[in-house]
Amino acid sequence: MKEILSGNLIIIGGAEDKENKKEILNRVCNSIDKDKDILLVATIATEYPKEAAAKYKKVFKELDVKNIKILDISNRLEAFEQSNADLIKSASLIFFTGGDQLRITSLIGGTSVYDALKEVSQKGTIIVGTSAGASVMSDTMIVQGEDEDSPRKCTLKMAPGLGLIKDVIIDQHFAQRGRIGRLLTGIAQNPEVLGIGIDENTGIVVNKEGIIEVIGEGAVYFIDGSAITHTNVSELYADEILSMHNVKLHILTDGNRFDLIKKSPFEEEKFSHEDSSEENI
């Protein structure tokens, strides 16, 4: 796994605090020069882009970001417009809101906006996603699955994501919506990838070396199926429960770190934010 990332990422499990301490969004804003840099809010995932734009514009202004712009794409023709590609290229940070992750890929896949996104991610532009904007970051994403259910093969639907982080499947609102069963199913079908489940008001900061830092009040769950010794996933009918042996699970909380290359958490439980330079956001 030589190439882990094509850009610096902050991936949020949804429902991040926007009213009180705003710790995660404050971390997002502190990763750029709040006086000079452009923060671009991409409302592509939502069917209510004006409301989402107003909500995040208010929060980011409260966090002292001076230059906030909005990328609103509601059809594929708009994703081919040079002005929208130029918006992507002008931003130092791009923030994907929640909604439906399949809207993002279906609206911008193969377009000028997508090409611009890949280009800036390679150059180190910080890309942030929350909820649906989190799931779309990986090269394979979950688009539908049963919450609070045992893992079952045919209840899960997956599709290609943006591919900004390689060899992982990301799920969000994880503990709050009981999604461990559907992520386990995704890993059973793709044991070579790492499953990452992120709680609400919780996120991961991923640098280009594949080092993850957990931030926020909840937990992040890393499911490693590379050493699976048995699974019946290829034998199942739709209503049968999945059987898996030798699955590895790591649960990390605020300040814990994880190495994507080694698929292993760091031995130290905590590390100071002062030890992490902004270059590794």
Q: Which residue of the set 6, 131, 135, 138 is catalytic?
A: 131
The Cα 3–Cα 45 span in angstroms is 27
Name the CA dihedral angle for 251, 253, 255, 258, rounded to a multiple of 10 degrees.
Answer: 20
Token pair of 127, please? 């890309």
Judge whether 106 counts as a catalytic residue.
no
> Which of 6, 135, 138, 200 is flagged as catalytic?
200
Whole-angstrom distance, CA of residue 59 vs CA of residue 39: 12
Q: Is 256 helix (H, G, I), strand (E, B) or coil?
A: coil
Calpha distance 107→143 (Å, rounded) = 15
> Would you call 173 a catalytic residue per the annotation?
yes
Given the residues 6, 16, 138, 173, the one annotated as active site:
173
Phi, psi of 13 (to 5 degrees): -75, 5
Active site residue 146: no
267-270 contact pairs (CB < 8 A, 24+): none
Which active-site residues does the annotation give?
131, 173, 200
